[in-house]
């Protein structure tokens, strides 16, 4: 089953073993798919070559009779391929292990679109789709190339294969994408002159050599083929404790020792080695060239493929519609022939009527005459020349034409509604629904095409770590077609060991997979989104200011993005901050205040300044009042001290034994106590006002200055025969005066 597992036979003298195995594989692949390939070429000729819709036998039988072609299959093929062009799948990349990163996955998806954009991949895709729908199979391939002749940086490229039907695959491959194939041939037929100029030291095979397969060497052409091989190998992998995986397959003992020293787990895994040769029938022209990926980078787009026992049958939309197309051509050709052979309706009349006017009546059916003169028949004056009734068309031929046209629609599954023909539908939604229903019969081609594009994304994604393995800046393409600059493999920071702490957008690590999004193109989805937003804004006008930027961005106007950007700047700051956070950008700076806002702020500042001035004035007034009270209290204190001194002196001068207490002293003490209560009441009624914040901002109030209102406990009653005043309440040191 697998040639590379069988013992190698000794090649004939002078014959390269690679060529020997390649020719053996070519014969097996060529024979296994010969019927499908021949039928596919016939399908292409049927649609594209003039006269190919009539068999040679039918042409011989009809002889000189017309063999007209009214190609209706070409329109059917264009309808299906047009749907493919409109519904081109979108490649998305998702991480599949813990080393994968969502942001890096988006960068990888942008890189895949970047490769498609720089390669003009749609041209390769759609050329293969034309062959896929018409003949049942088409191909394109993924290659690598240097970005320019003055750099070491490589780029990935997607290119078409003109003769997609001629690609030979391993007949044992079962997958629709042929990713399980062990070999593949992509042949190209060169003229002998071109071959000899390109490879002067590699002579072509001799014409008529029975040792080489048919078609590899003819009198005017030499076949050259890209020969891809996929050989099983044993890979040695080292898994480090941090999850890093190193490939030790090359057997470098130093690398293995370092991995073991770091505690790596070393195991063997089954893998494949992909190589490319460029060969002729007898020589290896180039190679082997090692391919860094794990897939053979040739992508088939298959139409409808069915396994019947051991036989694999493949076809496109044309194969089963050929007979209906031939019947239609026959009916229309015969109908045209019958009408063309029928004479034009002549005029009838007597010889006397036309006598003298023969030249006019002979050209009555070929030239335009303003009038047709005739002679009156003497024997029957009421008669005049009359035209014979025209021939009646054949109803059988007309019915055959209609039935043949319906047969083409029934076989292909593409009806008039799918082609845009008018029916009983009146609304746009009803017409679109009818068209989508008509597309169901041909949707298998769209699904298979999307599978091929998905496999292309997997091949490109597999190559990215090997091709884009250095720090560089690339222009990636977003899903909306916008081009952004992104830096990949950028070291961030410096660790203790001298290595970078992290790498920004490191596309060389982690495992990623490709996911497909089927559906309309981005433009179609944008139109649908715009329609949906119009309905939303009409239903909820209050939401318009919040979604107006998205609505502008979804339009196809010139400078719609700039309009959306300006509208976005007017969104509330919270929404702008959320948008910036999702995009990984710093939060936007607050917008400058408008003139109205500036006037309001200035007015508020003036009000704050006036209020602060009033509070300051009130505080100054309170200070003045406190100073007055302080002076009054000090004055009263002095008077009391004088009175005390006077009383003490009077008592000392005239002591009276057995005399009772001096009632005047009691009255003075009571008066002082009453006065102290009045002062306390006044000071309690004067609360301390907080100082205004000089910055004009809200915050905790400034600590109040010490005021006289903050008095200690009330003055205690003096003992009998004396009193005291607490001067600490008046800002003086405590010095009680006792009266004996």
Longest dimension (CA), the chain: 196
**Is residue 5 located within the same domain as residue 106?**
no
Do 190 and 243 fall within a single domain? yes
Query: For 122-171, what is each residue's pLDDT tens digit?
Result: 999 999 999 999 999 999 999 998 877 767 778 899 999 999 999 999 99
Do residues 479 and 522 lie in contact, with contact meaning Cβ atoms separated by under 8 Å?
yes
* CB neighbour class for 329 (10 Å; exposed up to 12, middle 13-18, buried from 19): buried
Residue tagged 């001035």 (tokens): 613
Same domain, 160 and 289: no
What pTM, to 2 d.p., does this model score? 0.64
Q: What pLDDT does residue 359 have? A: 87
Among 271-275, 377-381, 673-677, 692-696, the minimum mean pLDDT is found in 692-696
The answer to whether residues 205 and 186 belong to one domain is yes
Residue 527, in any domain of the structure = yes
Final residue belonging to a domain, choices 530, 557, 582: 582
Measured CA angle at 37 (ends 456, 453), to 5 deg: 10
Highest mean pLDDT among 199-203, 242-246, 510-514, 532-536: 199-203
Question: Using CA atoms, how far apart are residues 508 and 516, in angstroms rounded to an integer?
Answer: 22
Q: Could you tell me if 606 and 672 lie in one domain?
A: yes
Question: What radius of gyration, in Å, describes the C-alpha atoms of the chain?
Answer: 51
Write the DSSP string, 334-350. HHHHHHHHSPPPPEE--
Q: Is the pLDDT at 639 greater than 80, yes or no?
A: no
Q: pLDDT band at 479, cuts 50/70/90? A: low
For residues 317 and 83, give the distance between their C-alpha atoms in angstroms, rounded to a whole number: 14
CA dist 708 and 623 (Å) reads 10
The listed range with the strongest mean pLDDT (221-230, 340-349, 399-408, 428-437) is 221-230
Higher pLDDT, 533 or 76: 76
Backbone angles phi, psi at 304, to 5 degrees: -115, 125
Q: Are residues 132 and 22 in the same domain?
A: no
With b for 16 or more beta-carbon neighbours within 10 A and e for fewer, the 218-227 pattern comes to eeebbbbbbb
pLDDT in tens, 25-72: 999 999 999 999 999 999 999 999 999 999 999 999 988 888 999 988
| SS3 of 79-90 | HHHHHHHHCCCE
Range with the poorest average pLDDT among 19-33, 478-492, 611-625: 478-492
Same domain, 501 and 578: no
Eight-class DSSP state of 413: -
Report for 13-22, 193-202, 222-231, 391-400: range of highest mean pLDDT: 222-231
Res 145: pLDDT = 87
Residues 134 and 220 both lie in one domain? no
Q: Tens digits of per-residue pLDDT, 500-514?
A: 656 776 777 777 878
What is d(CA 106, CA 90) in angstroms, rounded to the nearest whole number?
A: 13
Strand ranges (E), 240-310: 245-247, 265-279, 284-291, 298-302, 304-308
Q: Which two tokens stand for residue 165?
A: 């039907």
Question: Does residue 405 lie in a domain region?
Answer: no
pLDDT top residue among 286 and 655: 286
431 pLDDT exceeds 70?
no
CA 736/CA 727 separation, integer angstroms: 8
**What is the pLDDT confidence band of residue 647, given thresholds at 50, 70 and 90?**
confident
d(Cα 269, Cα 463) in Å, to the nearest integer? 20
Q: Give the Cα separation of 348 and 389 in Å (integer).
A: 11
Structure tokens at 184: 């593949």
Q: Domain check: are 213 and 250 in the same one? A: yes
Picking from 539, 560, 582, the residue at the C-terminal end of a domain is 582
Q: Compute the 3-state secondary structure of the chain and give helix, strand, coil in percent, each to the nearest 5.
A: 45, 15, 40
Of residues 628 and 652, which shows the higher confidence score? 628
Tokens of 425: 């539908």
Q: List the Cα angle 70/73/79 in 5-degree steps.
A: 130
Say if 376 falls within a structural domain: no
227 lies in some domain: yes
Most confident option among 126-140, 264-278, 464-478, 510-524:
126-140
Point out which residues pair with 312 in neighbouring strands. Answer: 307
- Claim to verify: residue 439 and residue 549 sit in the same structural domain: no
Work out the pLDDT band at 277, boundaries 50, 70, 90. Answer: very high
pLDDT score, position 724:
44
Whether residue 20 lies inside any domain: the answer is yes
Same domain, 507 and 637: no
Residue where one domain finishes, among candidates 295, 326, 356: 295
Q: Which residue has the higher pLDDT, 406 or 129?
A: 129
Is residue 446 within 8 A of residue 126, CB to CB? The reply is no
Q: Are residues 242 and 159 in the same domain?
A: no
Q: Who has greater pLDDT, 416 or 551? A: 551
Helix (H, G, I), strand (E, B) or coil at 165: helix
> Peptide bond preceding 545: is omega within 30 degrees of 0, i.e. cis?
no
Lowest mean pLDDT among 125-139, 305-319, 320-334, 408-422: 408-422
The whole-angstrom separation of Cα 475 and Cα 486 is: 6
pLDDT of residue 710: 42
DSSP string, 171-192: TT--STT-TT-SEEEEEEEEEH
Domain count, the chain: 4
* CB contact at 8 A, 238 and 259: yes
Structure tokens at 735: 């010095």
User: Does the structure show a pLDDT above 80 at 607?
Assistant: yes
Rounded to the nearest 5°, which phi and psi values hold at 477?
-115, 130
Cα→Cα distances 657→561, 663, 721, Å? 113, 16, 15
Determine the Cα–Cα distance for residues 401 and 407; give it in Å rounded to an integer: 10
Let me know: does 248 contact 266? Beta carbons within 8 Å. yes
Q: Provide the CA 692 distance to its chain's centre, in angstroms.
A: 58
Q: Which residues of 244-254 are buried (b: 16+ CB within 10 A; e: fewer)?
A: eebebeeeeee
Q: Which residue has the higher pLDDT, 577 or 385?
A: 385
Q: Retrieve residue 166's tokens.
A: 């001629």
Does position 490 have pLDDT exceeding 50, yes or no? yes
Asked whether residue 344 is domain-assigned, the answer is: no
User: What is the predicted pLDDT for the residue at 240?
Assistant: 77
Mean pLDDT across the stretch 712-722?
45
* Number of CB atoms found within 10 A of residue 166's CB: 20
Residue 657 pLDDT > 90, yes or no?
no
Domain assignment of residue 607, given as a range = 592-650+663-687+707-740
In a domain, 403, yes or no: no
Compute the mean pLDDT over every residue in the chain, rounded to the nearest whole number. Answer: 78
Put residue 136 in one of left, alpha, beta given phi > 0 → left and psi -120 to 50 → alpha. left
C-alpha span between 228 and 274 (Å, rounded): 7
Q: Which of 255, 440, 407 is nearest to 331 (CA)?
A: 407
Out of 322-326, 398-402, 429-433, 571-575, the most confident range is: 322-326
Q: Does residue 136 sit in helix, strand or coil?
A: coil
* Lowest pLDDT segment from 184-188, 220-224, 383-387: 383-387
Q: Which two structure tokens, joined as six digits, stand for 11? A: 């090649």
For residue 285, is it left (φ>0), alpha (ψ between -120 and 50) or beta?
alpha
- Residue 433, pLDDT score: 57
Confidence class for position 735, pLDDT limits 50, 70, 90: very low
Residue 123 resides in a domain: yes
Cβ-based neighbours of 711, under 8 Å, separated by 6 or more: 680, 683, 729
CB 465 within 8 A of CB 508: yes
Say if residues 73 and 437 touch (Cβ distance below 8 Å).
Answer: no
| pLDDT tier for residue 247 given thresholds of 50, 70 and 90 | confident
């Amino acid at each position: 089953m697998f040639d590379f597992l069988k013992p190698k036979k000794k090649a004939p003298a002078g014959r390269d073993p690679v060529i020997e195995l390649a020719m053996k594989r070519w014969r097996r692949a060529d024979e296994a798919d010969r019927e499908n390939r021949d039928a596919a070429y016939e399908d292409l000729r049927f649609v594209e070559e003039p006269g190919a819709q009539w068999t040679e036998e039918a042409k011989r039988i009809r002889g000189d009779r017309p063999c007209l072609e009214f190609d209706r299959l070409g329109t059917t093929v264009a309808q299906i391929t047009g749907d493919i062009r409109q519904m081109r799948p979108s490649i998305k990349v998702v991480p599949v292990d813990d080393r994968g990163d969502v942001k890096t996955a988006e960068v990888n998806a942008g890189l895949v679109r970047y490769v498609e954009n720089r390669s003009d991949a749609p041209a390769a895709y759609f050329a293969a789709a034309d062959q896929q729908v018409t003949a049942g199979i088409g191909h394109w391939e993924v290659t690598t190339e240097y970005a320019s002749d003055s750099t070491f940086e490589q780029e990935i490229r997607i290119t078409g294969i003109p003769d997609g039907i001629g690609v030979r695959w391993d007949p044992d491959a079962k997958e629709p994408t042929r990713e399980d194939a062990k070999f593949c041939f992509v042949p190209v037929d060169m003229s002998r002159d071109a071959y000899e100029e390109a490879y002067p030291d590699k002579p072509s095979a001799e014409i008529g050599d029975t040792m080489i397969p048919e078609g590899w060497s003819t009198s005017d052409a030499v076949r050259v083929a890209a020969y891809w091989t996929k050989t099983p190998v044993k890979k040695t992998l080292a898994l480090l404790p941090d999850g890093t995986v190193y490939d030790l397959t090359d057997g470098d003992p130093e690398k293995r020792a370092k991995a073991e020293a770091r505690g790596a787990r070393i195991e063997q895994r089954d893998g494949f080695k992909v190589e490319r040769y460029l060969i002729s029938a007898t020589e290896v022209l180039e190679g082997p060239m090692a391919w860094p990926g794990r897939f053979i980078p040739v992508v088939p787009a298959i139409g409808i493929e069915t396994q019947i026992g051991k036989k694999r049958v493949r076809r496109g939309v044309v194969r089963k519609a050929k007979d209906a197309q031939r019947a239609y051509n026959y009916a229309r050709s015969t109908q045209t022939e019958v009408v063309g052979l029928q004479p034009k309706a002549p005029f009838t009349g007597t010889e006397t009527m036309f006598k003298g006017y023969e030249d006019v009546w002979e050209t009555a059916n070929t030239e335009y005459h303003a009038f047709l003169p005739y002679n009156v028949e003497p024997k029957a004056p009421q008669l005049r020349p009359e035209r014979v009734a025209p021939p009646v068309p054949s109803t059988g031929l007309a019915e055959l034409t209609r039935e043949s046209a319906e047969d083409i629609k029934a076989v292909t599954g593409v009806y008039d509604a799918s082609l845009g023909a008018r029916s009983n539908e009146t609304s746009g939604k009803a017409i679109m629904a009818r068209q989508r229903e008509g597309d169901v019969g041909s949707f298998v081609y769209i699904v298979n095409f999307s599978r091929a594009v998905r496999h292309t994304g997997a091949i490109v994604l597999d190559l990215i770590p090997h091709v884009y393995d250095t720090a560089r800046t690339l222009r990636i393409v977003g899903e909306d077609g916008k081009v952004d600059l992104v830096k990949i493999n950028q070291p961030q920071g410096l660790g203790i060991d001298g290595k970078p702490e992290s790498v920004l957008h490191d596309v060389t690590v982690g495992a990623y997979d490709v996911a497909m999004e089927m559906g309309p193109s981005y433009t179609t989805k944008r139109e649908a989104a715009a329609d949906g937003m119009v309905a939303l804004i009409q239903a909820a006008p209050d939401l318009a200011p919040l979604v107006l930027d998205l609505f502008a961005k979804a339009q196809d106007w010139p400078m719609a993005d700039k309009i959306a950007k300006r509208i976005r700047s007017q969104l509330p700051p919270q929404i702008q901050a959320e948008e910036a956070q999702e995009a990984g950008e710093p939060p936007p700076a607050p917008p400058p205040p408008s003139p109205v806002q500036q006037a309001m702020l200035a007015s508020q500042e003036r009000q704050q300044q006036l209020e602060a001035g009033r509070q300051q004035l009130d505080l100054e007034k309170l200070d003045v009042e406190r100073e007055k009270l302080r002076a009054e209290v000090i004055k009263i204190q002095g008077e009391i001290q004088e009175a005390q001194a006077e009383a003490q002196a009077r008592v000392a001068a005239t002591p009276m034994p057995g005399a009772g207490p001096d009632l005047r002293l009691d009255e003075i003490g009571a008066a002082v106590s009453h006065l102290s209560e009045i002062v306390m009441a006044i000071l309690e009624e004067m609360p301390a006002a907080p100082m205004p914040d000089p910055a004009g901002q809200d915050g905790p109030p400034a600590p109040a200055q010490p005021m006289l209102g903050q008095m200690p406990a009330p003055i205690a009653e003096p003992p009998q025969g004396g009193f005291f005043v607490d001067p600490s309440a008046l800002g003086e040191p405590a010095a009680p005066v006792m009266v004996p």
